[in-house]
Amino acid sequence: MRGFRFAFCLAVFPLVASARAATPSEDLIRQGEYVARAADCAACHSVRGQAPFAGGVPFDLPMGRIYSPNITPDPDHGVGGDTEEQFARAVREGVRKDGASMYPAMPFPSYARMTDADVHALFVYFRYGVKPVATTPPASTIVWPLSMRWPLTLWRGMFAPSPQSARRATQRSFPDPVLARGAYLVEGAGHCGACHTPRALTLQEKALTAADGDLYLSGGGSVDGWHPPSLRQENRTGLGRWSEDDIVAFLRDARASEGSAFGGMADAVEHGTQYLTDDDLHAIARYLRSLPARKTPDPVWKYDAATETALRSGDVSARGARVYVDHCAACHRDDGRGYPSVFPPLAGNPVVMDEQPDALITLLFKGATVPATRNAPSAFVMPSFAHVLSGQQMADVLSFIRGAWGNGASAVEVGDVRKSAPKGKGADGEGMPLN
C-alpha cells in the first residue's frame, strides 16, 4: 500500500508540475497589461461605468454603426475560447475566430507590427489578468448587402500588411535605439496613424509609417466630430513648437503648456499613455519630433498683443469679442494664454489654428473633460454651450478666437456650425437655435 501511494505520487506529480508551469507568471501578466495600455485597448472596448473590456463602444462607419466586441476571457461572450493563434491572428491580421474579416475600425494594419513577445503577453493578460464578463454587445446596424464581410477580405489583401512584412518595415535602420523604440510604439501598438493620418475613400490610411511618405501623421479626417491635428513639425498646426518634454507631459498628464487633451485623445491618455514608462514616453516624443513638417512654407507663430490690448481697454467691437468676454475669458483670459495645466491656451494652439474648425465646433456643442491622471489628479471640464449660444454666436466667437493673438486662421460661418453640429442639435433645429 505504501508502495502504491509512492507510485501514485510519482504519477501525479508531473501533472501538478505541468499545471503549475502552465500558469503564467505575474510578471508576464503585468507585461501584457502594459502592452494593452500602450495599444489603448480600453478606449475601444470599455464603456465608461461598465465592466472593463466588455465591448459595446459604438463606431459610426460610412455604411452604418458597429460595436466593439467583448474581449474579456468569458468563453461564450468574449475571447476565452480563443487559442493564442486565433487571438494573434485577430490582433495582427483582422481575422475573427470564425474566419470572417474585421472592419478596419480595428487597427490591425498597425498592430501587424507588434512582436510575437508582445502579442503573447497581451494574450496572457486577457486570459488571466482580466475578469470575464458574460455580456454581448449590441448588434451592428449595417444592413445587407453592406453587412457582407467577404469584401473585407479583399480590403485586407490590398491595404493591410502581413505581420511578416510589417515587422520587416518596422526594423528599418535608425541612428538611435530610442528612435527605433518610439517608431515601434507610434507605428505599431500605439496606432497613432489610425486617427492622425488621412484616409482614402476606401478607408485605408494613406500612409502606415513614416517610410511611406509625409502624409503619415499629417492630420486625420473627422472622428466623431473631432479633427485630429498633425503630429509632424508644422509650427502653426503641428508639434513644431513643442519640446520633447512638452510632448511627454501631454502624454503623461493630458495637459501641457501648449494645450490639453480632449475627445479621443483624452481617452488615450486616461486609459493608456499615462501608464507608460518615462523612457517609452520620451521615445515616442523623440520619434514625433523627428518627423519633418509637411506643409511649406511653414511660418512660425508669433504672439500679437493687439487683441489683449483691445479687450483690456473694454473694446469688444470685433466680431465675436463680446461673446468671448461673456463666456470664455474667465478661463482663457484676455491674452488667450489660459492657465496652463488647468485651462488650455487659445493663443498659438495648433487645434485653434487648424484649417478645419470641426474640433472647435464639436467642443462648443459637447464640451470636454481634461481627465484626471496619476500625476494630475484633478479633472477639469469645459461645459457644453449647445443651449447657451446660437449657431451665429458660435460662429462669431470661433472666428474671434481663430483670428486673435496672431492665430490668423480663417473665419467660421454659421453654415460650418450646421455642418459639424452633432445629430439632433442644430441642423434640424433641435437643441439650440441656429440663427
The reply to whether 9 sits in an annotated binding site is no
Helices (H), ranges, 57-115: 84-93, 108-111
Please state, in angstroms and rounded to a whole number, the distance separating the CA atoms of residues 65 and 59.
6
Rg of the chain on CA atoms, in Å: 25
Please state, in angstroms and rounded to a whole number, the distance separating the CA atoms of residues 249 and 242.
10
The reply to whether 192 sits in an annotated binding site is yes
The reply to whether 282 sits in an annotated binding site is no
Angle at 190 between CA 103 and CA 81, to 5 degrees: 55
Sign of CA dihedral 266, 280, 189, 213: positive
The reply to whether 44 sits in an annotated binding site is yes
> Phi and psi of 312, rounded to 5°?
-70, -20
Block residue for cell numbers 503549475: 20
> Phi and psi of 19, rounded to 5°?
-65, -40
> Phi and psi of 91, rounded to 5°?
-70, -45
**Nearest in space to 256 (alpha carbons), one of 187, 350, 329, 190:** 350
- Which residues are 199's β-sheet partners? 205
Give the CA dihedral 257, 259, 264, 266, nearest 10 degrees.
40
Q: Which residues contact 377 (CB under 8 A, 6 or more apart)?
A: none
Please state, in angstroms and rounded to a whole number, the distance separating the CA atoms of residues 162 and 356.
34
Largest CA distance in the chain: 102
Q: Write out the three cell numbers for 386.
A: 449647445
Amino acid at 431: G
The reply to whether 327 sits in an annotated binding site is no
Annotated binding site for heme c: 41, 44-45, 192, 195-196, 328, 331-332
- Annotated binding residues, as ranges? 41, 44-45, 192, 195-196, 328, 331-332
